[in-house]
Structure 1
């Protein structure tokens, strides 16, 4: 018998799409092999979870779950399978470079890379399927654009937004066993 312990929104109020991609394969622009994608709801869920999921109706997608025992076994230094589909943009600071953004489209970057500055009408916004080797860089004055491959720890840092979630799961596992603690999720558009 499973019981709902705590609503994820109370512990993790963010929208970390890179983490969602790494953990569950949702909006995986960074190219990770997801840890627990599209598993559906577990066969046995608490009434509270079933009621909440059903209340979301058609807006709920990509339900999945992951157990504490699985999370404890993750190699957080593992790199993504591919380079990030977004170009990482940095600005010069006294100590080096500071990340500004990761974007699927930037007219400024397109100009620096010699690509059309305006996206092609009707096409998905992006760099036209361009794939550059990891580490490829372009400089534009105080800006640096780089193709990067992220690691799991980059998107789910040990001391980051997910720490309260992991702390609660760890505490529950200490009482009930890691195989008896899981995080159940779904997403909206």
Structure 2
């Protein structure tokens, strides 16, 4: 069962007015990116980031529309939190995760060198290449965790494939050109009109 994100961009249009729901993020973001969820909010944080805005709950002054939408989820909605555009502008996107990724990184050789192909929490092929392919029960392989090996540990798999223990940066979790870009563009535009501290993303998750 996967985890999805929901929420709204909220904005203060006037200093004398309360926060208002500006736009449903479902209109701007259609992904399910666990690296981004972990980097931003500490949800599904397999990559081991220091979350930017974990467990804050709904803002005390959350708009009535956003509160009503969240409450409709009932027990299916969890981990509500928020982050302002001012905070997002201050992020050091080159900052690495606090620990190595809990998944093995797979690379494929391209004309420009090795390129990330995917990440896997469990792969029978990785177990075989790493020398863990002894049978525990008929047809089953020994389990492993990425943090069982030092960062930088590698296992070549032929000439065109490589497995590596690695650590992601925030930019690798949320690339400049990614599914998040439309959301960032809207927040940046609103912030240029009403101020960085007057624009925020309020979110929650479901399973």
Q: Same fold (TM over 0.5)?
A: yes
Q: Aligned residue for 1:144?
A: 162
Alpha-carbon separation, structure 1, partners of 2:76 and 2:136 = 29
TM-score normalised to structure 1 length: 0.91
Change (3 A) 1:16 1:119: farther
2:184 aligned to 142, 163, 166, which one? 166
Q: Measure how far apart 1:110 and its partner are.
A: 0.7
Alpha-carbon separation, structure 2, partners of 1:118 and 1:3 = 58
Q: Aligned residue for 1:35?
A: 52
Alpha-carbon separation, structure 2, partners of 1:56 and 1:188 = 8
Q: Which structure is richer in relative contact order (CA contacts within 8 A, separation 6 or more)?
A: 2
Q: Please say if residues 59 and 188 of structure 1, whose CA atoms lie closer than 8 Å, have aligned partners that are also in contact.
A: yes
Alpha-carbon separation, structure 2, partners of 1:187 and 1:128 = 26
In the alignment, structure 2 segments of 5+ residues that lack a partner are 1-17
Alpha-carbon separation, structure 2, partners of 1:168 and 1:26 = 23
Q: Please say if residues 100 and 147 of structure 2, whose CA atoms lie closer than 8 Å, have aligned partners that are also in contact.
A: no
Q: Please say if residues 107 and 161 of structure 2, whose CA atoms lie closer than 8 Å, have aligned partners that are also in contact.
A: yes
CA root-mean-square deviation: 1.9
In the alignment, structure 1 segments of 5+ residues that lack a partner are none
1:51 aligns with 2:68: yes
TM-score normalised to structure 2 length: 0.83
Q: Aligned residue for 1:67?
A: 84
